[in-house]
Structure 1
Amino acid sequence: MSIKVSVGPVTPYQQNCSIIQCQATGKAAVVDPGGDIDRILSAAEQMGATIEKIILTHGHLDHCGVSAELRDKLEVPIEGPEAADKFWIDQLPDYCKLAGFPHADAFTPDRWLHDGDTVNVGEVELQVIHCPGHTPGHVVFVSDENRIAWVGDVIFQGSIGRTDFPMSKHDDLIHSIRDKLFPLGDDITFVPGHGPTSTFGQERQTNPFVADSRYG
Protein backbone atom coordinates (compact mmCIF):
# COMPACT_ATOMS: atom_id res chain seq x y z
CA MET A 1 0.00 0.00 0.00
CA SER A 2 1.12 3.52 -0.71
CA ILE A 3 -0.78 4.80 2.32
CA LYS A 4 -0.88 4.26 6.06
CA VAL A 5 -4.25 4.70 7.74
CA SER A 6 -5.21 5.38 11.34
CA VAL A 7 -8.89 5.23 12.33
CA GLY A 8 -10.12 6.33 15.74
CA PRO A 9 -13.50 7.19 17.24
CA VAL A 10 -14.25 10.82 18.14
CA THR A 11 -17.23 12.59 19.76
CA PRO A 12 -19.92 10.92 21.88
CA TYR A 13 -21.28 9.50 18.59
CA GLN A 14 -18.09 7.41 18.14
CA GLN A 15 -17.52 8.78 14.67
CA ASN A 16 -14.62 7.22 12.77
CA CYS A 17 -12.06 9.94 12.13
CA SER A 18 -9.29 8.78 9.80
CA ILE A 19 -5.78 9.99 9.12
CA ILE A 20 -4.54 9.06 5.66
CA GLN A 21 -0.78 9.29 5.32
CA CYS A 22 1.19 9.12 2.09
CA GLN A 23 4.00 6.66 2.74
CA ALA A 24 6.32 8.34 0.25
CA THR A 25 6.11 11.88 1.65
CA GLY A 26 4.75 11.55 5.19
CA LYS A 27 2.04 14.08 4.36
CA ALA A 28 -1.46 13.35 5.60
CA ALA A 29 -5.12 14.32 5.48
CA VAL A 30 -7.60 14.18 8.34
CA VAL A 31 -10.95 12.77 7.26
CA ASP A 32 -14.02 14.03 9.14
CA PRO A 33 -12.66 15.64 12.33
CA GLY A 34 -15.86 15.81 14.33
CA GLY A 35 -14.25 16.43 17.71
CA ASP A 36 -11.44 15.54 20.11
CA ILE A 37 -8.67 17.55 18.44
CA ASP A 38 -6.03 16.43 20.94
CA ARG A 39 -6.74 12.78 20.14
CA ILE A 40 -6.46 13.47 16.40
CA LEU A 41 -3.17 15.35 16.75
CA SER A 42 -1.75 12.65 19.03
CA ALA A 43 -2.59 9.96 16.48
CA ALA A 44 -0.91 11.98 13.73
CA GLU A 45 2.17 12.46 15.88
CA GLN A 46 2.40 8.73 16.58
CA MET A 47 2.28 8.08 12.82
CA GLY A 48 4.93 10.66 12.11
CA ALA A 49 2.39 12.34 9.84
CA THR A 50 2.42 15.95 8.69
CA ILE A 51 -1.20 17.02 8.26
CA GLU A 52 -1.56 19.07 5.07
CA LYS A 53 -5.35 19.21 4.73
CA ILE A 54 -8.74 18.33 6.15
CA ILE A 55 -11.21 16.48 3.94
CA LEU A 56 -14.91 16.14 4.70
CA THR A 57 -17.50 13.62 3.55
CA HIS A 58 -20.47 15.68 4.72
CA GLY A 59 -21.62 18.48 6.96
CA HIS A 60 -23.06 16.75 10.03
CA LEU A 61 -21.65 17.94 13.35
CA ASP A 62 -20.01 14.65 14.34
CA HIS A 63 -18.05 14.66 11.08
CA CYS A 64 -16.95 18.27 10.81
CA GLY A 65 -17.46 19.89 14.22
CA VAL A 66 -13.82 20.85 14.85
CA SER A 67 -12.82 21.41 11.22
CA ALA A 68 -12.59 25.18 11.51
CA GLU A 69 -10.67 24.98 14.78
CA LEU A 70 -8.23 22.43 13.34
CA ARG A 71 -7.81 24.51 10.17
CA ASP A 72 -6.88 27.56 12.23
CA LYS A 73 -4.55 25.59 14.49
CA LEU A 74 -2.61 23.90 11.68
CA GLU A 75 -3.11 26.52 8.94
CA VAL A 76 -4.25 23.92 6.43
CA PRO A 77 -7.18 23.97 3.97
CA ILE A 78 -10.53 22.22 4.25
CA GLU A 79 -11.65 20.36 1.12
CA GLY A 80 -15.22 19.10 0.80
CA PRO A 81 -17.96 18.25 1.00
CA GLU A 82 -20.11 19.13 -2.04
CA ALA A 83 -21.72 22.56 -1.87
CA ALA A 84 -25.25 21.26 -1.22
CA ASP A 85 -24.13 20.54 2.37
CA LYS A 86 -23.62 24.26 3.02
CA PHE A 87 -27.13 23.94 4.46
CA TRP A 88 -25.74 21.77 7.27
CA ILE A 89 -22.44 23.55 7.88
CA ASP A 90 -24.18 26.92 8.22
CA GLN A 91 -26.29 25.48 11.06
CA LEU A 92 -23.45 23.88 13.01
CA PRO A 93 -23.77 26.19 16.05
CA ASP A 94 -27.48 25.40 16.38
CA TYR A 95 -27.15 21.65 15.93
CA CYS A 96 -24.22 21.45 18.36
CA LYS A 97 -26.35 23.19 20.98
CA LEU A 98 -29.29 20.85 20.36
CA ALA A 99 -27.07 17.75 20.59
CA GLY A 100 -25.16 18.90 23.65
CA PHE A 101 -21.90 19.11 21.68
CA PRO A 102 -19.26 21.78 22.32
CA HIS A 103 -19.86 24.94 20.33
CA ALA A 104 -18.66 24.85 16.72
CA ASP A 105 -18.56 27.82 14.40
CA ALA A 106 -20.00 27.65 10.91
CA PHE A 107 -17.29 27.80 8.27
CA THR A 108 -16.70 27.82 4.53
CA PRO A 109 -14.45 25.11 3.11
CA ASP A 110 -11.47 26.29 1.10
CA ARG A 111 -12.65 24.03 -1.70
CA TRP A 112 -16.08 22.62 -2.38
CA LEU A 113 -15.82 19.27 -4.14
CA HIS A 114 -17.71 17.90 -7.13
CA ASP A 115 -18.31 14.45 -8.55
CA GLY A 116 -15.24 13.41 -10.53
CA ASP A 117 -12.80 15.67 -8.70
CA THR A 118 -9.59 14.36 -7.20
CA VAL A 119 -7.97 15.15 -3.85
CA ASN A 120 -4.24 14.72 -3.38
CA VAL A 121 -2.60 13.60 -0.14
CA GLY A 122 1.11 13.81 -0.74
CA GLU A 123 1.58 11.65 -3.84
CA VAL A 124 -1.67 9.74 -3.27
CA GLU A 125 -4.72 10.56 -5.36
CA LEU A 126 -8.26 10.09 -4.06
CA GLN A 127 -11.26 10.06 -6.38
CA VAL A 128 -14.29 12.06 -5.29
CA ILE A 129 -17.73 10.55 -5.81
CA HIS A 130 -20.85 12.57 -5.02
CA CYS A 131 -23.16 10.22 -3.11
CA PRO A 132 -26.27 12.12 -1.99
CA GLY A 133 -29.03 10.61 0.10
CA HIS A 134 -27.92 10.84 3.73
CA THR A 135 -27.16 14.50 3.03
CA PRO A 136 -27.45 16.26 -0.33
CA GLY A 137 -23.76 17.13 -0.57
CA HIS A 138 -22.24 13.90 0.73
CA VAL A 139 -19.05 12.74 -1.01
CA VAL A 140 -17.00 9.55 -0.84
CA PHE A 141 -13.21 9.38 -1.19
CA VAL A 142 -11.73 6.38 -3.03
CA SER A 143 -8.12 5.27 -3.40
CA ASP A 144 -8.33 3.00 -6.43
CA GLU A 145 -4.65 2.07 -6.09
CA ASN A 146 -5.08 0.94 -2.48
CA ARG A 147 -8.63 -0.42 -2.93
CA ILE A 148 -10.03 1.49 0.01
CA ALA A 149 -12.82 4.05 0.35
CA TRP A 150 -14.01 6.49 3.00
CA VAL A 151 -17.79 6.48 2.76
CA GLY A 152 -18.93 8.63 5.67
CA ASP A 153 -22.52 7.78 6.54
CA VAL A 154 -23.58 6.38 3.15
CA ILE A 155 -23.17 2.70 4.02
CA PHE A 156 -22.14 0.69 7.08
CA GLN A 157 -21.46 -2.94 7.83
CA GLY A 158 -24.98 -4.36 7.64
CA SER A 159 -26.76 -1.02 7.41
CA ILE A 160 -27.09 2.26 5.49
CA GLY A 161 -27.22 5.94 6.36
CA ARG A 162 -30.26 7.54 7.92
CA THR A 163 -32.60 9.42 5.61
CA ASP A 164 -34.93 11.02 8.15
CA PHE A 165 -33.03 14.32 8.17
CA PRO A 166 -33.99 17.50 6.33
CA MET A 167 -32.99 17.18 2.64
CA SER A 168 -32.26 13.44 2.97
CA LYS A 169 -33.65 11.15 0.26
CA HIS A 170 -33.81 7.38 0.63
CA ASP A 171 -34.02 6.66 -3.11
CA ASP A 172 -30.95 8.83 -3.75
CA LEU A 173 -29.04 6.93 -1.08
CA ILE A 174 -29.86 3.54 -2.60
CA HIS A 175 -28.83 4.84 -6.03
CA SER A 176 -25.56 6.16 -4.61
CA ILE A 177 -24.70 2.80 -3.07
CA ARG A 178 -25.81 0.41 -5.79
CA ASP A 179 -25.04 2.46 -8.90
CA LYS A 180 -22.00 4.48 -7.81
CA LEU A 181 -20.17 2.50 -5.12
CA PHE A 182 -20.80 -1.19 -5.76
CA PRO A 183 -19.56 -1.02 -9.38
CA LEU A 184 -16.14 0.10 -8.06
CA GLY A 185 -15.42 -3.51 -7.11
CA ASP A 186 -16.27 -6.15 -4.52
CA ASP A 187 -12.71 -6.08 -3.19
CA ILE A 188 -12.80 -2.47 -2.02
CA THR A 189 -12.63 -2.13 1.76
CA PHE A 190 -14.55 0.83 3.12
CA VAL A 191 -14.17 2.85 6.29
CA PRO A 192 -17.66 3.96 7.38
CA GLY A 193 -18.51 6.92 9.55
CA HIS A 194 -19.37 4.61 12.44
CA GLY A 195 -18.61 1.00 13.28
CA PRO A 196 -16.33 -1.60 11.69
CA THR A 197 -14.96 -1.70 8.17
CA SER A 198 -16.39 -3.98 5.51
CA THR A 199 -16.14 -4.52 1.76
CA PHE A 200 -18.55 -3.66 -1.01
CA GLY A 201 -18.67 -7.34 -1.93
CA GLN A 202 -19.67 -8.36 1.58
CA GLU A 203 -22.45 -5.77 1.66
CA ARG A 204 -23.72 -6.81 -1.77
CA GLN A 205 -24.18 -10.30 -0.33
CA THR A 206 -25.43 -9.64 3.19
CA ASN A 207 -26.62 -6.05 3.73
CA PRO A 208 -30.42 -6.30 4.14
CA PHE A 209 -30.98 -2.82 2.70
CA VAL A 210 -28.92 -2.97 -0.50
CA ALA A 211 -27.97 -6.63 -1.17
CA ASP A 212 -28.23 -7.94 -4.72
CA SER A 213 -30.87 -10.42 -3.56
CA ARG A 214 -33.14 -7.52 -2.60
CA TYR A 215 -32.87 -5.84 -5.97
CA GLY A 216 -32.52 -8.82 -8.25
Structure 2
Amino acid sequence: MIDHDWFSVRQLAEKTYAISEWGHWEKVHSFLLIGQDKAALIDTGLGIATIKEVTDQLTDLPICVLTSHVHTDHIGSHAAFDDIYVHAADEAWLKNGIQGRTLEQIRFDLTRDLTSDLPAYFDLEGFVPFMGEASGLLRDGQLLDLGQRLVEIIHTPGHSPGHVAFLDHQTQFLFTGDVLYTQTPVYAFYPSTSPEDLVTSWEKLSRLPKIAKVFGSHNQLGIEPSILDEAGRAAAFLRQHELVHWGSGLHEFGQLSVKF
Protein backbone atom coordinates (compact mmCIF):
# COMPACT_ATOMS: atom_id res chain seq x y z
CA MET A 1 0.00 0.00 0.00
CA ILE A 2 1.33 3.44 -0.97
CA ASP A 3 0.61 6.24 1.45
CA HIS A 4 -0.07 9.58 -0.25
CA ASP A 5 -2.80 12.21 -0.18
CA TRP A 6 -2.63 13.15 -3.88
CA PHE A 7 -1.17 10.30 -5.95
CA SER A 8 -2.71 6.87 -6.52
CA VAL A 9 -0.55 3.89 -7.46
CA ARG A 10 -1.52 0.84 -9.51
CA GLN A 11 0.80 -2.07 -10.24
CA LEU A 12 0.57 -2.90 -13.95
CA ALA A 13 3.01 -5.83 -13.98
CA GLU A 14 6.04 -6.97 -12.01
CA LYS A 15 8.11 -3.91 -11.08
CA THR A 16 5.87 -1.72 -13.27
CA TYR A 17 3.68 1.00 -11.76
CA ALA A 18 1.29 3.74 -12.84
CA ILE A 19 1.34 6.79 -10.58
CA SER A 20 -1.87 8.73 -11.21
CA GLU A 21 -3.37 12.11 -10.37
CA TRP A 22 -7.06 11.27 -10.69
CA GLY A 23 -8.20 14.35 -8.79
CA HIS A 24 -7.08 16.69 -11.57
CA TRP A 25 -9.25 17.26 -14.65
CA GLU A 26 -6.46 15.99 -16.93
CA LYS A 27 -6.17 12.65 -15.06
CA VAL A 28 -2.42 12.53 -15.48
CA HIS A 29 -0.40 9.29 -15.33
CA SER A 30 3.32 8.84 -14.84
CA PHE A 31 4.98 5.41 -14.97
CA LEU A 32 7.78 3.75 -13.01
CA LEU A 33 9.72 0.85 -14.58
CA ILE A 34 12.19 -0.86 -12.24
CA GLY A 35 15.17 -2.81 -13.57
CA GLN A 36 17.97 -4.65 -11.78
CA ASP A 37 20.34 -1.67 -11.67
CA LYS A 38 18.13 1.42 -11.90
CA ALA A 39 14.57 2.59 -12.51
CA ALA A 40 13.04 4.77 -15.18
CA LEU A 41 10.29 7.25 -14.34
CA ILE A 42 8.29 8.28 -17.40
CA ASP A 43 7.32 11.90 -16.61
CA THR A 44 6.90 13.44 -13.16
CA GLY A 45 3.33 14.72 -13.18
CA LEU A 46 1.74 18.07 -12.50
CA GLY A 47 3.87 19.29 -9.61
CA ILE A 48 0.91 19.72 -7.27
CA ALA A 49 2.69 17.19 -5.06
CA THR A 50 6.20 15.76 -5.36
CA ILE A 51 6.13 12.39 -7.09
CA LYS A 52 9.43 11.42 -5.46
CA GLU A 53 7.46 10.89 -2.23
CA VAL A 54 5.83 7.96 -4.06
CA THR A 55 8.80 6.60 -5.99
CA ASP A 56 10.81 6.48 -2.75
CA GLN A 57 8.23 4.03 -1.44
CA LEU A 58 8.49 1.84 -4.54
CA THR A 59 12.26 1.57 -5.06
CA ASP A 60 15.59 2.57 -3.57
CA LEU A 61 17.41 2.21 -6.90
CA PRO A 62 18.69 5.29 -8.77
CA ILE A 63 15.95 6.82 -10.93
CA CYS A 64 16.36 8.38 -14.36
CA VAL A 65 13.50 10.58 -15.55
CA LEU A 66 12.40 9.98 -19.15
CA THR A 67 10.46 12.99 -20.39
CA SER A 68 7.74 12.17 -22.91
CA HIS A 69 7.54 15.87 -23.77
CA VAL A 70 8.01 19.23 -22.13
CA HIS A 71 4.52 20.35 -21.11
CA THR A 72 3.73 21.47 -17.57
CA ASP A 73 1.68 18.41 -16.61
CA HIS A 74 4.60 16.09 -17.39
CA ILE A 75 7.54 17.89 -15.77
CA GLY A 76 6.02 19.01 -12.47
CA SER A 77 8.44 17.12 -10.19
CA HIS A 78 11.53 17.18 -12.41
CA ALA A 79 13.34 19.35 -9.86
CA ALA A 80 13.28 16.45 -7.38
CA PHE A 81 15.54 14.32 -9.60
CA ASP A 82 19.12 14.69 -10.78
CA ASP A 83 19.06 12.42 -13.85
CA ILE A 84 16.69 13.87 -16.49
CA TYR A 85 16.46 12.96 -20.18
CA VAL A 86 14.55 14.65 -23.01
CA HIS A 87 14.50 14.57 -26.81
CA ALA A 88 16.67 17.24 -28.45
CA ALA A 89 13.65 18.91 -30.11
CA ASP A 90 12.15 19.71 -26.68
CA GLU A 91 15.46 20.45 -24.93
CA ALA A 92 15.19 24.23 -25.32
CA TRP A 93 11.71 24.20 -23.72
CA LEU A 94 13.10 22.30 -20.73
CA LYS A 95 15.93 24.79 -20.36
CA ASN A 96 14.19 28.08 -21.20
CA GLY A 97 10.48 27.50 -20.64
CA ILE A 98 7.50 26.22 -22.62
CA GLN A 99 6.46 28.23 -25.65
CA GLY A 100 2.99 29.75 -26.00
CA ARG A 101 1.71 29.54 -22.41
CA THR A 102 1.80 32.34 -19.86
CA LEU A 103 2.39 31.62 -16.20
CA GLU A 104 -1.13 32.86 -15.44
CA GLN A 105 -2.64 30.38 -17.91
CA ILE A 106 -0.56 27.54 -16.51
CA ARG A 107 -1.57 28.30 -12.92
CA PHE A 108 -5.25 28.60 -13.88
CA ASP A 109 -5.26 25.23 -15.68
CA LEU A 110 -3.37 23.59 -12.83
CA THR A 111 -6.15 24.05 -10.29
CA ARG A 112 -9.43 24.29 -12.22
CA ASP A 113 -12.15 21.62 -12.24
CA LEU A 114 -10.61 19.49 -9.51
CA THR A 115 -12.42 16.46 -8.09
CA SER A 116 -10.06 16.09 -5.12
CA ASP A 117 -8.84 18.64 -2.62
CA LEU A 118 -5.43 20.12 -3.24
CA PRO A 119 -2.81 19.15 -0.66
CA ALA A 120 -2.69 21.75 2.10
CA TYR A 121 1.00 22.41 1.43
CA PHE A 122 0.53 23.28 -2.26
CA ASP A 123 1.35 26.95 -2.99
CA LEU A 124 -0.26 28.04 -6.26
CA GLU A 125 1.15 31.57 -6.12
CA GLY A 126 4.65 30.18 -5.75
CA PHE A 127 4.26 27.56 -8.51
CA VAL A 128 6.66 27.96 -11.43
CA PRO A 129 7.15 25.24 -14.11
CA PHE A 130 10.50 23.46 -14.00
CA MET A 131 13.33 24.86 -16.07
CA GLY A 132 16.74 23.23 -16.12
CA GLU A 133 19.41 21.33 -17.97
CA ALA A 134 18.93 17.78 -19.22
CA SER A 135 21.42 15.10 -18.20
CA GLY A 136 21.20 13.60 -21.67
CA LEU A 137 19.21 13.50 -24.88
CA LEU A 138 16.86 10.79 -26.11
CA ARG A 139 16.96 9.67 -29.74
CA ASP A 140 14.70 7.56 -31.92
CA GLY A 141 15.53 3.86 -31.72
CA GLN A 142 17.72 4.23 -28.64
CA LEU A 143 17.66 1.35 -26.13
CA LEU A 144 18.04 2.21 -22.46
CA ASP A 145 19.27 -0.64 -20.26
CA LEU A 146 17.88 -0.55 -16.72
CA GLY A 147 19.56 -3.86 -15.92
CA GLN A 148 17.81 -6.92 -17.31
CA ARG A 149 15.22 -4.55 -18.77
CA LEU A 150 15.36 -2.58 -22.02
CA VAL A 151 13.28 0.48 -22.82
CA GLU A 152 13.12 1.63 -26.45
CA ILE A 153 12.73 5.29 -27.39
CA ILE A 154 10.32 6.07 -30.25
CA HIS A 155 10.26 9.66 -31.51
CA THR A 156 6.59 10.59 -32.00
CA PRO A 157 6.37 14.33 -32.69
CA GLY A 158 3.16 16.24 -33.35
CA HIS A 159 1.86 17.16 -29.90
CA SER A 160 5.30 18.66 -29.34
CA PRO A 161 8.41 18.60 -31.56
CA GLY A 162 10.33 16.32 -29.21
CA HIS A 163 7.54 14.06 -28.04
CA VAL A 164 8.63 10.45 -27.52
CA ALA A 165 6.87 7.19 -26.71
CA PHE A 166 8.49 4.33 -24.80
CA LEU A 167 8.35 0.58 -25.48
CA ASP A 168 9.20 -1.63 -22.52
CA HIS A 169 10.67 -4.82 -23.97
CA GLN A 170 10.02 -6.76 -20.76
CA THR A 171 6.25 -6.35 -20.78
CA GLN A 172 5.68 -5.17 -24.38
CA PHE A 173 3.82 -2.22 -22.87
CA LEU A 174 3.79 0.90 -25.06
CA PHE A 175 3.70 4.22 -23.21
CA THR A 176 2.37 6.81 -25.66
CA GLY A 177 2.37 10.03 -23.63
CA ASP A 178 0.10 12.64 -25.24
CA VAL A 179 0.31 11.40 -28.81
CA LEU A 180 -2.29 8.66 -28.25
CA TYR A 181 -4.93 8.23 -25.54
CA THR A 182 -8.73 7.88 -25.29
CA GLN A 183 -11.80 9.67 -23.82
CA THR A 184 -10.70 13.23 -24.69
CA PRO A 185 -9.14 14.53 -27.93
CA VAL A 186 -5.45 14.38 -28.66
CA TYR A 187 -4.44 18.00 -29.23
CA ALA A 188 -2.52 19.36 -32.20
CA PHE A 189 -4.04 22.80 -32.72
CA TYR A 190 -1.51 24.99 -30.89
CA PRO A 191 1.19 26.84 -32.90
CA SER A 192 3.81 24.60 -31.25
CA THR A 193 2.09 21.43 -32.55
CA SER A 194 2.11 19.80 -35.99
CA PRO A 195 -0.91 17.92 -37.38
CA GLU A 196 1.30 16.42 -40.11
CA ASP A 197 3.82 15.10 -37.60
CA LEU A 198 1.08 13.75 -35.34
CA VAL A 199 -0.54 11.75 -38.13
CA THR A 200 2.88 10.43 -39.16
CA SER A 201 3.47 9.36 -35.55
CA TRP A 202 0.14 7.51 -35.50
CA GLU A 203 1.19 5.69 -38.67
CA LYS A 204 4.53 4.82 -37.09
CA LEU A 205 2.95 3.43 -33.93
CA SER A 206 0.35 1.46 -35.90
CA ARG A 207 3.18 -0.58 -37.47
CA LEU A 208 4.66 -1.76 -34.17
CA PRO A 209 4.34 -5.54 -33.70
CA LYS A 210 3.36 -7.54 -30.62
CA ILE A 211 2.23 -4.76 -28.30
CA ALA A 212 0.55 -6.18 -25.19
CA LYS A 213 -1.03 -2.98 -23.85
CA VAL A 214 -1.02 0.75 -24.56
CA PHE A 215 -0.77 3.31 -21.78
CA GLY A 216 -1.47 6.95 -22.58
CA SER A 217 -0.65 9.72 -20.12
CA HIS A 218 -4.28 10.79 -19.55
CA ASN A 219 -7.69 9.34 -18.79
CA GLN A 220 -8.15 5.59 -19.32
CA LEU A 221 -5.37 3.57 -17.72
CA GLY A 222 -4.58 0.70 -20.05
CA ILE A 223 -5.89 0.47 -23.62
CA GLU A 224 -6.11 -2.62 -25.81
CA PRO A 225 -3.49 -2.68 -28.59
CA SER A 226 -6.25 -2.52 -31.21
CA ILE A 227 -6.11 1.26 -30.62
CA LEU A 228 -2.94 1.21 -32.75
CA ASP A 229 -4.82 -0.22 -35.74
CA GLU A 230 -7.51 2.39 -35.14
CA ALA A 231 -4.85 5.12 -35.20
CA GLY A 232 -3.52 3.81 -38.51
CA ARG A 233 -6.98 3.83 -40.07
CA ALA A 234 -7.65 7.31 -38.70
CA ALA A 235 -4.40 8.58 -40.21
CA ALA A 236 -5.35 7.17 -43.61
CA PHE A 237 -8.81 8.80 -43.44
CA LEU A 238 -7.40 12.17 -42.44
CA ARG A 239 -4.92 12.12 -45.29
CA GLN A 240 -7.44 10.92 -47.86
CA HIS A 241 -9.84 13.73 -46.96
CA GLU A 242 -7.10 16.40 -46.72
CA LEU A 243 -7.85 17.16 -43.07
CA VAL A 244 -4.27 17.14 -41.78
CA HIS A 245 -3.91 20.84 -41.05
CA TRP A 246 -4.62 23.39 -38.35
CA GLY A 247 -8.22 24.53 -38.21
CA SER A 248 -9.79 21.40 -39.69
CA GLY A 249 -11.45 20.84 -36.32
CA LEU A 250 -12.39 17.85 -34.20
CA HIS A 251 -12.24 14.38 -35.78
CA GLU A 252 -13.59 11.27 -34.03
CA PHE A 253 -12.78 7.63 -34.82
CA GLY A 254 -14.42 5.26 -32.35
CA GLN A 255 -12.52 5.56 -29.08
CA LEU A 256 -9.87 7.85 -30.62
CA SER A 257 -10.27 11.55 -31.41
CA VAL A 258 -8.02 14.44 -32.41
CA LYS A 259 -8.39 18.21 -32.63
CA PHE A 260 -6.43 20.18 -35.24
Tell me the TM-score normalised to structure 1 length.
0.80
2:93 maps to a residue whose letter is W
Give the Cα separation in 2 of the matches to 1:44 and 1:20: 10
Give the 5 Å matches for 1:94-109: 95-100=102-107, 101=110, 102-109=127-134
Map of 1:169 onto structure 2: 194
1:152–1:192 Cα contact (<8 Å) kept? yes
1:183 maps to a residue whose letter is R
Give the 5 Å matches for 1:8-47: 8-9=20-21, 12=24, 13-22=26-35, 24-25=36-37, 27-36=38-47, 40-47=51-58
Map of 1:144 onto structure 2: 169
CA-atom RMSD in angstroms: 3.0
1:144 to 1:208, Cα distance in 2 relative to 1, 3 A: closer
Give 1:127 shift.
Answer: 0.6
Q: Deviations over 1:14-36 (max 9, x none)?
A: 321111122x45x3222111334
The size of the alignment, in residue pairs, is 206
Tell me the TM-score normalised to structure 2 length.
0.68
1:188–1:200 Cα contact (<8 Å) kept? yes
Once the two structures are aligned, what percentage of the paired residues are identical? 21
Specify which of 85, 88, 94 is matched with residue 90 of structure 2. 85
Give the Cα separation in 2 of the matches to 1:190 and 1:7: 15
Structure number with bigger Rg: 2
Give the Cα separation in 2 of the matches to 1:186 and 1:157: 20
Unaligned runs of 5+ in 2: 1-12, 111-126, 241-260
Q: Deviations over 1:139-190 (max 9, x none)?
A: 1111133110111100002565211122311121111112x21111364312
SS of match in other structure, 1:46: helix
Give the Cα separation in 2 of the matches to 1:166 and 1:122: 40
2:84 maps to a residue whose letter is I
Give the Cα separation in 1 of the matches to 2:134 and 2:22: 21
2:91 maps to a residue whose letter is K
Between stretches 193-202 and 46-55, larger displacement belongs to 46-55
Map of 1:6 onto structure 2: 18
Unaligned runs of 5+ in 1: none
Map of 1:70 onto structure 2: 80
Map of 2:8 onto structure 1: none
Map of 2:148 onto structure 1: 123
1:132 to 1:103, Cα distance in 2 relative to 1, 3 A: same
2:85 maps to a residue whose letter is E
